[in-house]
Amino acid sequence: MHSLQAENEPLGQDEVPTLPADDRDLCDAVAVGAKDIDREVYCILGMPIDAIEMSAALDRIAEAVSSRVFFFLSTPNLNFLVHSQMDPEFRESLLLSDLCPADGIPVVWIARLMGISIIRRVAGSDIFEALKSRLGIERPLKVFLYGATENVATAAAKALTGSPSLKCVGWACPGFGTLDELSHDRFIDKINSSGADLLIVALGAEKGQLWLLRNHRRLVVPLRAHLGVTIHFQAGTVKRAPYAIQKLGLEWLWRIGQEPQLWRRYWRDGSVLLRLMLTRVLPLAIRGVILRWRSACGGHHLIIEEFQSPQSATFRLLGFAVAGEVEKAKRCFRDALVAKKLLLIDFSQTLAIDQRFLGLLLMVRKQLKACGADLKLAGISRELEKAFRLNGVEYLLSPSRMI
């Protein structure tokens, strides 16, 4: 697809774009944010999914609140997967999130088929319930509710009154306007002046994620998440499915029983899931079996060659860019990111890539985006291009990102 100037010759310094000094000054998040690199993230059909247990997720949340660091929590389910296939901006809200545990059972099933070690879902509603009942914290977390209706928000706020760990400090019900209307200064000012630690948004998945993405820098609340139906669960206007039904992956059927109008959404999402299973998940599952078999027979190794300049770092990957080699790659990438250098990754000698290594690339891209840069790739073979497209990261192959 794209090739380098010669098979074994590194790119010259003049061929690697450099980051302007003014933009490098904006990279504070990169210097401090090596935690993104340390997340165990897998790329599942273009989405970054964290392999994380509930206790670790709660620790990450508590750390963000105590340090007042902006923390964007997304909880991808099947509906998120469908939107991310159709809407690049929605997908970007996931790519730039600070934690993306698998909320939906279908996402967990897809991961298992691909041989990915995501054992169970960590649903947004479960995270909220865990925060609600968590003991041993210094003070209750202050919560602001944004969305739903006045009656629902009032009932949810009242339900939080007896919680030992959460305290509702306000709510706003902006109605069903456009994103611009929902982002009016009066709403942002009300949220920011509440002194909340946690902002729960309920505007519908698509609109809620985009609202959080577009207003990220205007909000001062450290922890923010779109947890939609969670407000309704708290208010009692929607009852959550019993645990046994959740375990069977039939929560969607329970929801239709309570909200019949949802059948259209589930029908559309199910149709997209079936297409993705046939065209992407099954081919990826077969590729994964072959890759693991080849690894068991001969082992997979990765050699990383580095070519440094004052403003940039080029990494040539020779061999297999797979899960077992991620730690080696992390050490190289982290040093360049902390030094605030532009990164170029040369795949001309790469034989295969898996979902874990792609997840690492998504985290590198996230940190670069924090300072207005982007991940640059080179030397993508046709076979590797096919792997990128099957995994839903063809957006990494856009002309602006290729050298």
| Burial readout 76-113 (b: 16 or more C-beta within 10 A, e: otherwise) | bbbbbbbbbbeeeebbbbbbbbbbbbbbbbbbbbbbee
290 assigned to some structural domain: no
Its domain, for residue 230, covers 38-279
* Mean of all residue pLDDT scores within the chain: 85
Answer yes or no: do 349 and 378 share one domain.
yes
Q: Determine, yes or no, domain membership for 285.
A: no
**Are residues 220 and 89 part of one domain?**
yes
Within this chain, do residues 59 and 171 fall inside the same structural domain, yes or no?
yes
How many folded domains does the chain comprise?
2
Look up tokens 């860019």; give the residue. Answer: 321
For residue 136, give the 3-state DSSP assignment: coil
Q: What is the CATH number of the domain that holds 333?
A: 3.30.750.24
Q: Are residues 242 and 345 in the same domain?
A: no
Domain annotation covers residue 56:
yes
Cβ-proximal residues to 193 (8 Å cutoff; 6+ apart), any chain? none
How far apart (Å, rounded) are the C-alpha atoms in residues 99 and 398? 25
> What does DSSP assign to residue 402?
B
Return d(Cα 7, Cα 379) in angstroms, integer.
Answer: 9
Domain-embedded: residue 323: yes
Please list the ranges in the chain whose pLDDT falls under 70: 1-34, 135-137, 296-298, 399-403
Q: For residue 111, what is the domain's CATH number?
A: 3.40.50.2300
Q: Distance between CA atoms of 130 and 170, rounded to whole angstroms?
A: 21
Residues 100 and 244 in one domain: yes
pLDDT for res 240: 87
pLDDT for residue 109: 93
Inter-residue contact 326 to 317 (CB < 8 Å): no
Residues 342 and 204 in one domain: no
Nearest of 30, 36, 113, 120 to residue 72 by alpha carbon: 36
Residues 51 and 19 in one domain: no
Does residue 50 sit within a domain? yes
Assess if residue 3 is contained within a domain. Answer: no
pLDDT for res 172: 92
Q: Within this chain, do residues 329 and 311 fall inside the same structural domain, yes or no? A: yes
12-56 pLDDT, tens digit each:
333 333 333 333 333 444 334 457 999 999 999 999 999 999 999
Residue 34 confidence (pLDDT): 52
Contacts of 108 (CB under 8 A, 6+ apart): 102, 118, 119, 120, 121
Whether the CB-CB separation of 201 and 225 falls below 8 Å is answered with: yes
- In this prediction the pTM is 0.88
Tokens of 34: 């090596």
The reply to whether 309 and 232 lie within a common domain is no
Residue 365 domain-assigned? yes
